[in-house]
């Protein structure tokens, strides 16, 4: 088990409109169910979608699970995030490499791959649904929900 509970966790994908907002939503939900007092946020390594809401397919997927993410807005990861957050989770290896490259010297955040939290899924990427159909968002939800549950269970 990880102890003590970190106060802030950031989930990061490429554009911050599909995978990372779903990861944020899944984690917030699971943390709430477990009674954890923790901040969750999401960001992207790219700036293409800054200020935009999550992809409509991501919003629909979250709503099917009782979670409204329509107020979320995409943002790009910033140097201050490495001091603000205890843990920063990348949704795939490319974004993990980008995050590590962006990390300022002496940062305090633990940086890792999200699915490393799920036994048997270590080193795997969360499925990227952006160029597919709505069914891909269900696969992504299953990935981030499993990671959220595994992460919460460690505290």
CA distance 52 to 69: 12
CA distance 83 to 134: 35
128 has catalytic annotation: yes
User: One of 81, 92, 128, 143 is an active-site residue; which one?
Assistant: 128
Listed in order, strand segments (DSSP E) in the chain are 8-13, 39-44, 87-90, 110-113
As a whole number of angstroms, the longest Cα–Cα distance in the chain is: 41
What six digits make up the tokens of 42?
Answer: 């999401």
Q: Give the up-direction half-sphere exposure of residue 5: CA atoms within 13 A in the CB hemisphere.
A: 13
Phi, psi of 9 (to 5 degrees): -130, 135
User: One of 19, 28, 57, 75 is an active-site residue; which one?
Assistant: 19
Comparing CA positions, the residue from 70, 84, 93, 75 lying closest to residue 22 is 70
18 has catalytic annotation: no
73 has catalytic annotation: no
Active site residues: 13, 19, 128
């Amino acid at each position: 088990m990880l102890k003590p509970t970190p106060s802030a966790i950031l989930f990061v994908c490429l554009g911050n409109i599909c995978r990372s907002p779903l990861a944020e939503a899944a984690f917030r939900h699971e943390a709430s169910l477990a009674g954890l007092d923790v901040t969750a946020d999401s960001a992207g390594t790219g700036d293409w979608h800054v200020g935009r809401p999550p992809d409509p397919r991501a919003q629909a997927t979250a709503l099917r699970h009782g979670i409204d993410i329509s107020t979320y807005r995409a943002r790009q990861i910033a140097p201050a995030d490495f001091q603000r957050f205890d843990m920063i989770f990348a949704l795939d290896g490319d974004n993990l490499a980008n995050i590590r490259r962006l990390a300022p010297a002496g940062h305090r955040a633990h940086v890792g791959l999200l699915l490393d939290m799920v036994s048997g899924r270590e080193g795997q990427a969360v499925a990227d649904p952006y160029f597919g159909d709505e069914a891909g968002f269900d696969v992504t939800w299953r990935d981030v929900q499993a990671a959220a549950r595994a992460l919460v269970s460690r505290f």
